[in-house]
Each structure stands twice: as C-alpha cells, then as structure tokens.
Amino acid sequence: MIRRPTLAVVAEAAGVSLKTASRVLNREPNVADATRERVLDAATSLGFRRNAVAADLARGGFSRLVGFITGDLANEFYSALASGIERELREHGLQLLTASSDEDPEREGSLTGELLERRVGALIVTPAGADHSALRGEIAAGLTVVVVDRPAAGMDVDTVVIDNRGGTRAAVDHLLAHGHRRIAFVGDAPHLWTYQERSAEFLAAMQDAGVPDAERWLRSGAHDAAAARDLVVELLAAPEPPTAVLAANNRATVGTLQALRDASGGDQVAVVGFDDFELADLLGITVVAYDAVEMGRRAAELAVARSADRDRPVELVVLPTRVVPRGSGERRPR
C-alpha cells in the first residue's frame, strides 16, 4: 500500500513552494509558464492526485457533493431521476451521493443526517413522509434543498413536479372523446400527493363532462400490481362496470392489464396509464408520458442555482405531460 504523494512533495520535486504548486494545479493565473511546466511535470511523474477531501475541508463550508434521497433506486422512475441529476451535476463539477429511503420517513431522516455529516452542498429529495421538521432546521442553517416529484408540505423550497392535473385531465378527456362515460380511476396510496392531485382532477373532469357520481369508479390502494389487479377485478364485477380504466401509475397499469387479460371481454375495455414504460409501445398501451430524466436535470439545476444565490426566489417547476395514443386508449365502448 503505497502512500500517495502530496502537494508538498510535488512542490519540493519542482523546486517551488507549496502555494505555487497549488496555483498551478488549480489553474490559477500569475504563474510563469516555465514554473507551471516544472510543476506539471513533477505532478505527472509522481502520479500526483489531489485530495478532494482535504481541499473541501480547507475551503470550509460545504463539500462538492450533492445528496439524493430517493424512494427506491431500483424503481425505473427514480433511477431516471438519478440519471438526470448526475448528468447535470457533473457539468458543474459536483458529485452525486445517492441513498434509498425505501419510502420510510424515519430512514429518510437518518439518511439526511448522514449526508449532512458529509457536508453535502445540497440535498435533492423525494419526500417520503409528511414531517420534514429536521430538514426545515437545516434549511435555516443554509442547506440547499430541492424537492422532486411531490412537494414537501409546509416547506418553502424549490420544487420540481409534473403537471399531474393537466395530465389527468387530458387522459380523461381522451377517453371521453372516444365515447366513454363509465371511466374508472385506479390509484395508489391516498396519502400521496400525486394520488390526491390525480384523483381530484379525475373527479373534476368527470363532473365537467356531466358524469355524475364518478366516485363509483374511483379506487385507491394500488401500491403494487397485485393490489391494482384486485381492484380492477372487483370493478369489472360490479353492477355498472367501467368501459375504460385510467391507471394512475405504472404499477397500477400493470395490474390493470393483468386483470383485463384474465377477464372475459377484458380486451374491450379501454386503458390509459399514467407514466410511460418501455414496453408500452409493444403492448399498444396509451399513456400519459413525461420526461423523468429531465425532471432530475431540472432539480439539479435548481440546486446549483440556489447554492450560488441563496436569495433568489423559490421556484416551482411544473413539467408538461402528454397523452401518447397507442391503441388501448382509443377503443370505443360497445
């Protein structure tokens, strides 16, 4: 285990002071070309590599790391976010530190702590719980926090979300335009902000279309595909079965498709899913799509901007969605 050369060693080898070596390696001006080259030569021949840990400590304040606390890295939505975040950070010479909360508020809290110990310059969070008192204190202490996917209740921070209401409205209108009236909404946990937004807009759109009591076809609890399937099976067996289903997220879509595959006449039921997925094209599933990578990129952008200017106004970025027709959403009721 060889010891890495330090700046001091490089400086000595080049016959200059530590500070001059530091200037060269940080590309600072006011160094004679000859000196610069001597230092550079010494550095490469010694295999010097700067120590970012020491540099960050010396500089004081924050490190050049940004933390990302996500619900579940293995979920394709969150990994798309991470990908966009990482790409944008890199442009600014920042590195990404990721951590999974497993959607557990308590874990989210302890992860926040660990990342803060690392003195991250900013924290990008997909809030799991409702209580962010810990974070609030940190923000007061100067921490940059950006929230993605869902707003953090009661916190005045930069936020990036998609246009949940617009997407839902467009999906419902799409189905209405194809002649459907009995449209079901299959959503996940009622306490999620995205559920609330989407379900509320669903009801509003139905009401605007003159369909009374749309609550009949409103279901929640589809936190996974199996639960969604059960909900759809039950809907189909009810007195007034829906002729179309709006699945409120990608897991709900999978469950819906499973239920329809198994049901007699299931292939007659129209389906629109929220969230695009790779095989939707192959399966011919109409979806409400948006760009998750861009979402991450924008979040990172906001984090960088606020770190540079703590006094800028808090921003709320709402990304557009669009309906992508692929067949399943264009079936007409019989």
What three-state secondary structure class fits 257?
helix
- Give the integer Cα–Cα distance in Å for 167 and 310: 33
Contact call for residue 63 and DNA (CB under 7 A): no
Of residues 37, 44, 45, 59, which one binds DNA by CB under 7 A? 59
Nearer to a second copy, 111 or 161 (CB): 111
Interaction of residue 58 with DNA, rule CB under 7 A: yes
- Cβ 45 to DNA shortest distance, Å: 16
Q: What residues contact residue 47 under an 8 Å CB cut-off, 6+ apart? A: 4, 5
**Residue 104: both structure tokens together:** 């557990």
Cβ-proximal residues to 331 (8 Å cutoff; 6+ apart), any chain: 178, 244, 268, 269, 270
6 binds DNA (CB under 7 A): yes
Site residues (vs a second copy, CB under 8 A): 1-2, 4, 47, 49-54, 56-57, 63, 65, 72-76, 78-80, 82-83, 86-87, 90, 95-100, 113-119, 137, 140-142, 254, 257-258, 261, 277-279, 282-283, 293, 310
Question: What's the longest Cα–Cα distance across the chain?
Answer: 89
Q: What is the token pair recorded at 223?
A: 């936190």
* Nearest alpha-carbon partner for 284 in 263, 255, 253, 243: 253
The region of 48-56, 124-132, 210-218, 251-259 touching DNA under the rule CB under 7 A is 48-56
The residue (of 45 and 207) whose beta carbon lies closer to DNA is 45
- Would you say 71 or 187 has its CB closer to a second copy? 71
- Nearest CA to 67 out of 6, 31, 116, 17 is that of 116
Binding region for DNA (CB under 7 A): 3-4, 6-8, 16-20, 22-23, 25-26, 30-32, 34-36, 50-51, 54-55, 57-60
